[in-house]
Chains A and B, each alone.
Chain A
């Protein structure tokens, strides 16, 4: 085989495999962020990683669902607030935006900025407040920004790890 042909085979097989991987990811969509939303029972209906990748999933959820109310905070909010409780009130539709381990206000602020940018219906935001964290933030405020949202390429580790 000539070198040119070798390169062609290498590039085309790489492309084919990359497309196959992307297609499987988009179709299976274990996190629940794919733009292709076809649910097939027993295949991709269940999104097992949705709860584990809050920092990706919640941003996509808010963009899709356009809730009127968002509850923000740490895992306490995530575990204890049921948005269905406000279903017949002026707060509906509501969304639980609690993120595991997210008690830092610079991080919450970054998510809030993102929600405000992508959710045109947003009117009410409830934010969990820890007095010590809030006070320490006041003395040393830091601003954080989230990376651009993408349905296929996403940051596998939490932005706070960086």
Chain B
């Protein structure tokens, strides 16, 4: 079931809210939590009930590992942790990477291995990481007690089950002790408002951007040449499609959790306003960056073993982060590119601090330029993220940068012979430019949801972000203007829901 579907908005959501609050009020907190678990499992099983068994099996096994880690003897605990990690990684590997590894191993050995890929259970990458984090925390002594109901709700809670944020137990489980038994008007007002903004982003900004993306990437995938303008339009449109898709999903998840009084960790903070790649990864998919930092980068040694080792660790973490997104070379290369950019960025900062004032003291013009450069680099890397193969990514990137003999003015030259084609090309360029300008303004200028709702603790924040003063002027308040404005946004978004449009991050 998708958040942006009539079944969810008018069926599942009101039902689960009513069921939870009625049951919690009359039968107590634990009955209410059980209702949320059952509802979340129903939500998950809506796509394919087979996925449900995988999720339940995974919960049961991980609960066993967690209990053994908490209550077991010191000698056995390391083995339990290793078996637990092995189980989770094997589950993820079987469903997500089996075919990819078999094919590539077969290619290396010169054998034609064809393994039919099992359908990927939704959100497996997210809930597997969540369980791994729980096991490691339990091993390190961060979990002192285990409650199966709390654990089940921690894993299955439907707002964050499919596409994150990747929550940690110490952020969520303590909140279960104070779950409301009756609907709190403040939580509902904040939750519904954030949900409305998220739905609007997804339906009205992300989905329409796809029209500029699909034709060009499909053409490149089928081996056709792509022009300079078309390639840039597609890359920029995808950049904004992905941005509003993920940002919209995150807002919706945040708003939905808030209806039940739960505050999720921050996951998205205007990443395209970043002034460098390091900054970008502090703002994009924050919970994944945090996982990669805490469970890959730091265990590898982090920055404690010298400069070179630090860059190697960064690259490994990003490479695995890329592979986490999908079992394809495009994702691996995308991760490697980001790893390289991060390493270069750290090296540049290191150098600048030695020879002059630190980058933080740069004047506004330099920061705006840095933001533009970062956005261009990120957008170029997204081509790898979206393309169906490395070849098609190379086709589009070559067209964007005039590499390999690509003439940047080829579209005009191609279309010049036919007035009709030229007019079509201009119309495409003009309408796409207007659209990109519109969505770009929203991404670059308007405050994000967390800035709008910052007076009402919309999310758990590890450390505060530095915001431009003008962004802080616009604040959500429970007044008539916001109520009417957001209800209008909600109505427009609901009226624009036409066909099933899954979130891009659902595939991971």
Which of A14-22, A45-53, A54-62, A67-75 is the interface stretch? A14-22
CA–CA, A153 to B477, complex, Å? Answer: 34
* Chain A residues with CB below 8 A from B484, complex form: 9-10, 13
* B483 in the interface (beta carbon within 8 A): yes
CA–CA, A136 to B499, complex, Å? Answer: 29
Query: B498, A7: Cβ atoms under 8 Å?
Result: no
* Chain A residues with CB below 8 A from B487, complex form: 10-11, 13-14, 17
Query: A14, B498: Cβ atoms under 8 Å?
Result: no
Closest B residue by C-beta to A14: B487
* A80 in the interface (beta carbon within 8 A): no
Query: B483, A9: Cβ atoms under 8 Å?
Result: yes
Given known A-B contacts A2-B478, A3-B186, A10 and B483 have beta carbons under 8 A apart: yes
**Nearest-Cβ distance from residue A80 to partner chain B, whole angstroms:** 28
Which of A27-35, A125-133, A154-162 is the interface stretch? A154-162
Query: B491, A14: Cβ atoms under 8 Å?
Result: yes
Which of A113-162 touch B at CB < 8 Å?
153, 155-157, 161-162
* Chain A residues with CB below 8 A from B92, complex form: none
* Chain B residues with CB below 8 A from A7, complex form: 185, 188-189, 192, 483
CA–CA, A18 to B484, complex, Å? Answer: 12
Query: B491, A2: Cβ atoms under 8 Å?
Result: no
Partner of B185, one of A2, A157, A162: A2
* Chain A residues with CB below 8 A from B499, complex form: 155-157, 161-162
* Chain A residues with CB below 8 A from B478, complex form: 1-3, 5-6
Given known A-B contacts A157-B498, A157-B499, A6 and B482 have beta carbons under 8 A apart: yes
CA–CA, A25 to B377, complex, Å? Answer: 45
Q: What number of A-B contacts does a CB cutoff of 8 Å give?
A: 58
Given known A-B contacts A21-B495, A156-B498, A3 and B483 have beta carbons under 8 A apart: no
* Chain A residues with CB below 8 A from B186, complex form: 3
Query: A9, B480: Cβ atoms under 8 Å?
Result: yes
* Chain B residues with CB below 8 A from A155, complex form: 498-499
Closest A residue by C-beta to B188: A7
Query: A6, B483: Cβ atoms under 8 Å?
Result: yes
CA–CA, A14 to B186, complex, Å? Answer: 19
**Nearest-Cβ distance from residue B484 to partner chain A, whole angstroms:** 5
Query: B486, A10: Cβ atoms under 8 Å?
Result: yes
CA–CA, A3 to B479, complex, Å? Answer: 8
Given known A-B contacts A13-B483, A157-B498, A162-B499, A3 and B189 have beta carbons under 8 A apart: yes
Q: Mark B475-508, 1 if CB is under 8 A from A, else 0.
A: 0011110111011101100010011000000000
* A4 in the interface (beta carbon within 8 A): yes
Interface residues of A, count at CB 8 A: 21
CA–CA, A123 to B116, complex, Å? Answer: 49
Q: Mark B172-186, 1 if CB is under 8 A from A, else 0.
A: 000000000000011
Given known A-B contacts A2-B478, A7-B192, A17 and B491 have beta carbons under 8 A apart: yes
CA–CA, A157 to B189, complex, Å? Answer: 34
CA–CA, A161 to B499, complex, Å? Answer: 10
Closest A residue by C-beta to B486: A10
CA–CA, A17 to B482, complex, Å? Answer: 15
* Chain A residues with CB below 8 A from B185, complex form: 2-4, 6-7
Closest A residue by C-beta to B495: A21
Given known A-B contacts A1-B480, A21-B491, A10 and B498 have beta carbons under 8 A apart: no
Closest A residue by C-beta to B480: A9
CA–CA, A14 to B185, complex, Å? Answer: 17
Partner of B189, one of A6, A14, A156: A6
CA–CA, A7 to B479, complex, Å? Answer: 10
**Nearest-Cβ distance from residue A160 to partner chain B, whole angstroms:** 12
* Chain A residues with CB below 8 A from B189, complex form: 3, 6-7, 10
CA–CA, A115 to B1, complex, Å? Answer: 31
Which of B461-482 touch A at CB < 8 Å?
477-480, 482
Q: Mark B183-206, 1 if CB is under 8 A from A, else 0.
A: 001101100110000000000000
Closest A residue by C-beta to B478: A6
CA–CA, A11 to B14, complex, Å? Answer: 14
**Nearest-Cβ distance from residue A36 to partner chain B, whole angstroms:** 19
Given known A-B contacts A3-B189, A6-B479, A9-B480, A17 and B488 have beta carbons under 8 A apart: yes
Most buried by B among A3, A21, A162: A3
Partner of A10, one of B192, B477, B495: B192
Contacts A3-B186, A14-B490 given; 18 further ones with Cβ under 8 A? A1-B477, A1-B478, A1-B480, A1-B483, A3-B478, A5-B478, A6-B189, A7-B189, A9-B483, A10-B483, A10-B484, A11-B487, A13-B484, A13-B487, A21-B495, A155-B499, A157-B498, A161-B499
A-B contact pairs, 30 of them (CB 8 A): A1-B478, A1-B479, A1-B480, A2-B478, A3-B188, A3-B189, A5-B478, A6-B185, A6-B189, A6-B478, A6-B479, A6-B482, A6-B483, A7-B188, A10-B189, A10-B193, A10-B486, A11-B487, A13-B483, A13-B484, A13-B488, A14-B487, A14-B491, A17-B488, A17-B491, A21-B491, A153-B6, A155-B498, A156-B499, A157-B499
- Ranked 5 nearest A-B pairs via Cβ: A6-B478, A14-B487, A3-B185, A9-B483, A10-B483
Interface residue ranges, B against A (CB under 8 Å): 6, 185-186, 188-189, 192-193, 477-480, 482-484, 486-488, 490-491, 495, 498-499
